[in-house]
Each structure stands twice: as C-alpha cells, then as structure tokens.
Amino acid sequence: MSSTSHDQLIHGLAADLKPVNRLRRPVLRALTWLAVVGAIALALAAFANDNAMWERITAAPDLWLAVVGSTGTAIFAAIAAFELSLPDAPRAWALLPLPVAIVWIAASGLGCLRTWIAPQTHVATLGEARDCLIFIVALSVPLSALLFMMLRRAYPLNLGLTAAMGGLAVAAAAATLLNFFHPYDAAATDLAVHAVAVAIVIAANSALASRIFRTALPPADVTAGGVGTN
Amino acid sequence: MTPWVQSNVMALSRRGWLLPPQFPSMATGYGRVGKLRMVKADPQNRSADDLRRSAQMAAAQAGDRAAYEALLRDCVPLIKVIAARQGIPPDHIDDVVQDVLLTIHRARQTYDPARSFTGWLRIIAERRAIDLLRRLGRQRAREIHSPLAFESYADEGSDPTRSGRAAAAANRVHTVLAQLPERQREAVELLVLQEQSLAEAAIATRRSKGALKVNLHRALKGLRGMFAEKD
C-alpha cells in the first residue's frame, strides 16, 4: 500500500461525500428513546390496576427501591449507550449505570428472603414467573429495535460495550414496565426468572452487535439547506 | 542515545507528553481532560491548525468535497504518527491509515465542530491501531510464518511421472465410458467432463433437464459398478 492508494481512497471518499445531519447530543437522543418508553408506560397504566400496583410497591422498602433501581438503570444505561455509540467516547461511560444497577440488584435480592421474613405473602408460582420472562423478553424486542435503530446513526467502535449497555437499558425498562402486571411479591424463583430474562436480553443484543451496527447504513443525508441538527 | 534514555523517551511519547513538533495541536482537545466528560475545547486554546481542520470538517458535513479531500490528505501524516506511537509495525501503518479514513467518513455525522478535531481524530486513530494490533495478535496465534518451509515444499506438478499417470487414468475412463449406453455417455461427457450446465446440455441434446439428470444418475451408478469390477 502506498500514498497512491491513500490518494485513491481519499478521492473515492470525497466523490462519495453527501451532506449529513449532525447528530444531536447523546443525552437528548437518549431522552427521545426514554420518552417512547414513558409513552408505553402511560399506555400500559391505562390497562393496569394502578392502585393495586401502588399498594404493592409501597408495602415494603425493597420493592420501591427495586423499582427506583430499575428505572434509574434504564435511564443511565440508555445515556451510556448513546454516549458509547460515538466513535471517540471514553469507555468509562459504561460505569454510569453501575450505582443504580447495584441498588436494583441489592433491593431485588432482598426478595429472596421474603418467604422467610413474611411467609403469608403471595409468591409467584413457576408458571406465573414464566409469564414475567415472556413479558420482559417480548417487550424488549420492540424497545431494542428502536434503540439500536437510533444507536446505528452514530458509528460506535466499541460494538460489544455499546450493545451491552443498550441491552441493559432495554431489560431494565422492560423490568420496570412489568410492575404494572406483577401482582406478586418478589421471591427467589421470581427474581431468578427476572435475572434470566435480563441476561437473555443483554446477551442477545451483544451477540447481534456486529450485525446491527455494521450493516451498511449511510449517514443521514440532508435534503436541502446544508447541515442542520438531527 | 542509550537504551535506558531511548526506552524512557518512548514511554513519554506513548503517554502523549512528547509530541512531534509538526503537530503541536495534538496536545489540545478533550481526550485527556477527563475520563467521563468530553469537554468542549475552548477556541482560545485551540491551535490554528485544529480550528482549520474543524472548519473543514464542518464544511464536509455540509457537502463541501474540496474541503473534505484537503482535510483527509492533511490527516494522513497525523494518523501515521499516532499509529507508530501505538506500536504498529511499519508495514501495517498504511492499513491503519485506510481504516481511520474510512471511519472518519462513516462517522462524520458524529463530529461536533465545537470540539477539537485533532483530539477526535487521535482517539479514533488510537482505537483503530489497537484493533489492528489485536487482529495481528490473533493472526500470529493461528498462523505460522515459515517462508523456508514454503520454499522447500515439493510441487506435485513437477513429478515427471505425473503426466504418464494422468494419461493412463484418462484412457481408463474413456474405455469404461465407451461401454455405457449412448444417452448415458453423452450426459457424462457434457455435464461432468465439459462442465456444461443442465440448461446448456438440454439444448445440445434436445432432451429435458429431468431426462438428463436420470441419464447422469444411471451413468454414475453404472460407472461405479464397472470400476469396482476392474479393481
């Protein structure tokens, strides 16, 4: 390879140049995705028994802490995913959702002791827990599709890390929305199923990272009027 | 320069403390400002070269091909320096240059002109260089570089008895083929020996593709039997 081949490549790239929309700030793009999640939450709230959900969540501190943890994880993991999707982003963004994720895991983990602390509570059966798994995985598919469609507009160089953060955001959002249809007290089996569901979503997103991000997608062209914001 | 001084100079250079005098603007930007925050570069602290590159990239985002071409040409020596500093072998530096140029092209919509272009380029070039080092490492783990073994490997085509053996095998095949019914022999000759497609063979023989497939299947079955008898 020589300077001639560089010249040829540069000439080819310049010939291929089209105006592009400059991407908005990652936080704003993350908020757009979170707004869609919020809209889904409002739609689900219309069908759910909100009073029963509120009573259940406020009954024990670990339950509302788990909801706060999963919501925070969804928000911070989404911001981290959009930041990491930039080619020059520091990898340290992956640490952003870590504190709230620890709160989520720790508060959920307390549920393992529930049957020992309060034996009279209604614990989800294996069949009911399976419904939770289906709900989380099924809701994760459209949320992942939207998130990765947005992430692809940038050009991440950390494919695995970006996809894993995206997967964490999606799984945490789905786990948060599950609370609308979750009339059980968290127990060991239920939590194990939740953990499996979250792991499936993160693993699937990570495994598909290179296919999702490296399928040819030209930068967004501008129809007219030069560079705007996207 | 003693080895001790040389190793320390290289270590400082790797940390970005010793930068080539021709690229003073590489010290600016946001890359080393914080681990988590990408701080916007203050135009007061940015070099004239960096501001010019930022302006060229902004023009490229708007579709200015001349500015884009000039910017990419300007980037090549910078990328080479960064790649060398990352420990890329000299014969692979051009690979990093091409990777980085393609990355700039595909990621150009992510660049914010309020930030240092040189800092943005440096991080991309460093990451592409690390990617290449990993690829080379994997390649070395799987493959062996042994030019002497390649040179001393016997060429099968140089065997003087090979042509004689090939001719004997061809005669044997023709003898056995002659014993096949005409339609089956024709199917073998066209589809196997002449490597024609079924469509071409069907036109040549005025037979259907299905009939040709049946002829070929029966011919191969017959040939297997004949060769088994001879062996």
Question: Which residues sit opposite A123 in a β-bridge?
Answer: A185
Of B62, B94, B109, the CB nearest to A226: B62
Of A154, A170, A157, residue with least CA distance to A202: A170
DSSP β-bridge partners for residue A20: A221
Task: Give the per-residue pLDDT at A117.
Answer: 57
Determine which of B40, B61, B68, B132 to mutate to test the interface with A (most A C-beta atoms within 10 Å): B61
pLDDT tens digit sequence for A209-224:
777 776 644 444 443 3
**Mean pLDDT across B168-178:** 85
Any CB–CB contact under 8 A between B60 and chain A? yes
3-state DSSP of chain A: CCHHHHHHHHHHHHHCCCCECECCCHHHHHHHHHHHHHHHHHHHHHHCCHHHHHHHHHHCHHHHHHHHHHHHHHHHHHHHHHHHCCCCCCHHHHHCCHHHHHHHHHHHHHHHHHHHHCCCCCECCHHHHHHHHHHHHHHHHHHHHHHHHHHCCCCCCCHHHHHHHHHHHHHHHHHHHHHHHCCCECCHHHHHHHHHHHHHHHHHHHHCHHHHHHCCCCCCECCCCCCCEC
**Helices marked H in B143-190 — which ranges?**
147-151, 162-178, 182-188
Residues ≥6 apart with Cβ < 8 Å to B182: none
The beta-carbon neighbor of B97 closest among A6, A11, A86 is A6
Interface list for B 97-156 with A (CB within 8 A) = 97-98, 101-103, 105-112, 119-120, 123-124, 127-128, 131
DSSP assignment letter at B42: P
A40 close to A177: Cβ distance less than 8 angstroms: yes
| Cβ count near A110 (within 10 Å) | 17
**Does residue A10 carry a pLDDT above 60?**
yes
Residue A169 in contact with residue A215, Cβ under 8 Å? no
- Which chain B residues are closer than 8 Å to A24 by Cβ? none
The structure tokens 């023709």 sit at B174
Q: CA–CA separation, B179 vs A224, rounded Å?
A: 75
Nearest CA-CA partner of A32 in A146, A127, A125: A146
State the Cα–Cα distance between residues A72 and A79, nearest whole angstrom. Answer: 11
Q: Number of residue pairs across A and B with CB atoms under 8 Å? A: 104
Q: What is the ipTM of this complex?
A: 0.75
**B191 has a chain A CB within 8 A of its CB:** no
**C-alpha–C-alpha distance, residues A61 and A65, integer Å:** 6
CA distance B68 to B58: 9
Residue B230 binned pLDDT confidence (cut-offs 50, 70, 90): low
Which domains are delineated in chain B?
Answer: 24-142 (1.10.1740.10), 174-230 (1.10.10.10)
Contact assessment for residue A201 and residue A141, using Cβ atoms and an 8 Å cutoff: no
Q: In A, which residues are within 8 Å of B112 by CB distance?
A: 22
- What are the tokens at A114? 């529930």
Q: How many helices (H) and strands (E) does chain B have?
A: 10, 0
User: Band of the pLDDT at A127, cuts 50, 70, 90?
Assistant: low
- B173 has pLDDT over 90: no
Nearest in space to A150 (alpha carbons), one of A67, A65, A31, A42 = A31
- Mean local confidence (pLDDT), A151-164: 88
* Minimal-distance CA residue of chain B relative to A214: B106
Q: Tokens for B115?
A: 């930030």
The verdict on A41 touching B (C-beta cutoff 8 Å) is no
> What are the tens digits of pLDDT across the range A24-56?
999 999 999 999 999 999 998 888 777 777 777
Lowest mean pLDDT among A109-118, A203-212, B65-74, B134-143: A109-118
Which residues numbered 92-121 in A keep a CB inside 8 Å of some CB on B?
92-93, 95-96
**Which residues are paired to A221 by β-bridges?**
A20
Give kind and range of the element (H or E) at residue B201: helix B198-205
Rounded mean pLDDT, B67-84: 94
Determine the 3-state secondary structure of B224 from DSSP: helix
